[in-house]
Amino acid sequence: MKKFGFTADNLQEGKRLDVVLVSKYTQFSRADWSEQVKKGQITINENAAKSSEKVKLGAKISGSYPESLASGLIKPILVPEVIFEDQSVIVINKSAGLVVHPSGKQIQPSVAGAFADDIEDSDLLRPGIVHRLDKDTSGVMILARNIETKEFLQAQFKARAVKKIYTALVVGHLQDADARIELPLERSKKNPEKMTVSSSGKIAITEYQTVTQYNNYTLVQVQLLTGRTHQIRAHFAHIGNPVASDRLYSQQDLPKGLARQFLHASSLTIETSPGNAETFTAPLAKDLKKFLGTL
């Protein structure tokens, strides 16, 4: 069973235990939690609890999640390839079409669901998740196998100490073969699914180098110096060279033979433990490689 634990805050003070639990872990119903309390699976300050018990400020509430579908973590039929694993991390080659974790109460196969049984993490929807790739982006991802490692990896991403290299095919020929794009991004007010360049947005820095030019496309190696949502896609669309087959950001006709955006996380360099930096790589996905062969 997956375990959880938290300390009651002032917003939870004075409320019934079952009310506190259902408001904190909304994936489960009040009935789920009441049943779990009856089974003796929930404690307050290490003592057996009752659903009707009023929670005090600072109380230590812990126990096991109910054994119901509610977590939303479903294992995909095809589990992503494991590139590397040890007691601290799991590094995978994420396949395109797979979300990293379910959103809200939406039940769907995910990376989180694929490896939940191998990870000790009280985060019910995002166990082990420290960074994300878009659903239709393939490539290297790292997961933490425990809370200590999760916090260690997250701190590196926050400090921009992780080196992330992507391979992308963009439409047309770039004005500069190698360049740095430094344009702030924020969520579009017209279409909240998209990110857009805006002076009121958060800083976003992308560096790229041209690898190969084709008649109507350019293959580039991209390094992210920040990690904003859709950063590569939004930046290249803004300069007039959207990622090939990007249905959200491109106004171009979608090319035949490419069913998703041409974007692949090629390598990731990160410390898996203090002082131990490692680089993990994933070869270009077969569908992308096949498309390049037609150009």
pLDDT of residue 70: 43
**96 closest CA partner among 232, 243, 237, 285:** 285
pLDDT of residue 126: 85
pLDDT of residue 21: 92
Low-confidence spans in the chain with pLDDT less than 70: 1, 27, 67-72, 104-107
CB proximity list for 90: less than 8 A, separation 6 or greater: 82, 84, 115, 118, 119, 128, 142, 143, 145
| Domain annotation for the chain: domains and CATH numbers | 3-69 (3.10.290.10), 72-158 (3.30.2350.10), 163-292 (3.30.2350.10)
Alpha-carbon distances, residue 203 vs 46, 165, 198 (angstroms): 45, 19, 10
pLDDT of residue 101: 87
| φ/ψ bin of 12: left (φ > 0), alpha (ψ from -120 to 50), beta (otherwise) | alpha
pLDDT of residue 69: 44
**What pLDDT digit, counting tens, does each position of 107-160 carry?**
678 999 899 889 988 777 789 999 999 999 999 999 999 999 999 999 999 999
pLDDT of residue 104: 56
Q: Which residues are catalytic?
A: 134
CB proximity list for 166: less than 8 A, separation 6 or greater: 139, 221, 222, 223, 224, 232, 263, 264, 265, 266
